[in-house]
Structure 1
Amino acid sequence: MPSFTTVITATLLLATPLLMSVRAESHQVTFTNNCGRGTPLFLYQGNGNPQGATTIQGELNGGIAWLGNQGNCESSGVNCGAVEFTLQNTGYSQADFTLETGSGLGNHQYTYAMAFNFINGCSNGASCDEPNCPCAFTDPTNGCLYQCSANNAGIHIQFC
């Protein structure tokens, strides 16, 4: 007959994978492109390959999305407007618009309308549909950060 300790150990070993799958962190990034040109892309910390809509396993820190392959837009949205975001279960997920043009700030400028909303637990968001976007960061000290506190929150980004 198995000892009490053996039964508990076996139970924990069987339950651990189930508990880990429940706690697995993932964040979805989706796009809508109404511009009729370009390709929605994003980069994030730890992955320098621009990609389209996908689901990331784990935290997604330092994300930046832009409409690539059109006009003068370069990697990371240089010469165009961009949406910056971080998606994580610890703390808050957050997003903002960047139109920072100063030296070393990416030369981001308004070239198309942008909008975003959080998905999978929150639905708040914002839009930037004019060159003088009122809440966009034009330098690192101004602008509005939008937040979501839901676990596994994602973001949907729209261009034009």
Structure 2
Amino acid sequence: MFSFKSLSLFGVITYVYAETHTIVFDNQCGFGTPTLIQGSDVLGTGNGPFTFNEPLNFAIAYLQNGTCGFNGEGCTLIETTLRNPTCPGCGSGTDINLIPPKIFLLILYFSYFNGCDGVKRNCKFANCVEAFHTPDDGGTQTVCQADDVNLRITFCEKDQFA
């Protein structure tokens, strides 16, 4: 998806590419409300899709089951930044966070699409190796260096890894 904004400075016309990212929730649990937070702002609840025409920096997502704190305390948490890369390693990154006070409550799965297709992670049990359990855990950040990448987050995923 391309969109351009025209800027004129001293008679010179340049075009600036506007990036776009979408997050889609797939709640297969039969309970709870998918929740997307950035800082002190609720960006969306429900299945979405939620589209952002700019980078999405330091957002979190979880399934609000009535016991989660605002920042996902007491729940299984996804952390994500979706942005077009401006240098090697400066693109999007997503991870599953089980660092206390976050806890494992349900199977969680995420995958990139519209770029980095097939790049995914899942957490099916409390000690899954694909989640952060301490701040020092390495290798659990899942990166994508594609422009305009999107993210699908699935709660209680039933079929993907059966």
TM-score, normalization by structure 1 = 0.80
Query: Structure 1 runs of 4+ off > 4 angstroms?
Result: none
Is the helix fraction higher in 1 or 2?
Answer: 1
2:7 equivalent in structure 1: none
- Tell me the distance in 1 between the aligned counterparts of 2:18 and 2:43: 24
Matched AA of 1:146: T
Unaligned runs of 5+ in 2: 1-10, 157-162
**1:74 offset after TM fit, Å?**
2.1
Q: Does 1:125 align with 2:124?
A: no
Matched AA of 2:42: N
- Tell me the distance in 1 between the aligned counterparts of 2:79 and 2:67: 19
Q: Secondary structure at the match of 2:71?
A: helix
2:83 equivalent in structure 1: 88
Is the strand fraction higher in 1 or 2?
Answer: 2
Q: Kindly indicate whether the alpha-carbon contact (under 8 Å) linking 2:35 and 2:42 is maintained by their aligned counterparts in 1.
A: no
142, 145, 154: which one pairs with 2:141? 145
Q: Secondary structure at the match of 2:131?
A: coil
2:38 equivalent in structure 1: 44
Matched AA of 1:86: T
Matched AA of 2:44: Q
**1:110 offset after TM fit, Å?**
0.1
- Report the identity percentage: 32
The aligned length equals 138
**1:76 offset after TM fit, Å?**
2.2
TM-score, normalization by structure 2 = 0.79
- Tell me the distance in 1 between the aligned counterparts of 2:71 and 2:128: 19
Q: Secondary structure at the match of 2:134?
A: coil
Matched AA of 1:43: I
**1:121 offset after TM fit, Å?**
1.1
61, 65, 73: which one pairs with 2:61? 65
Q: Secondary structure at the match of 1:63?
A: strand
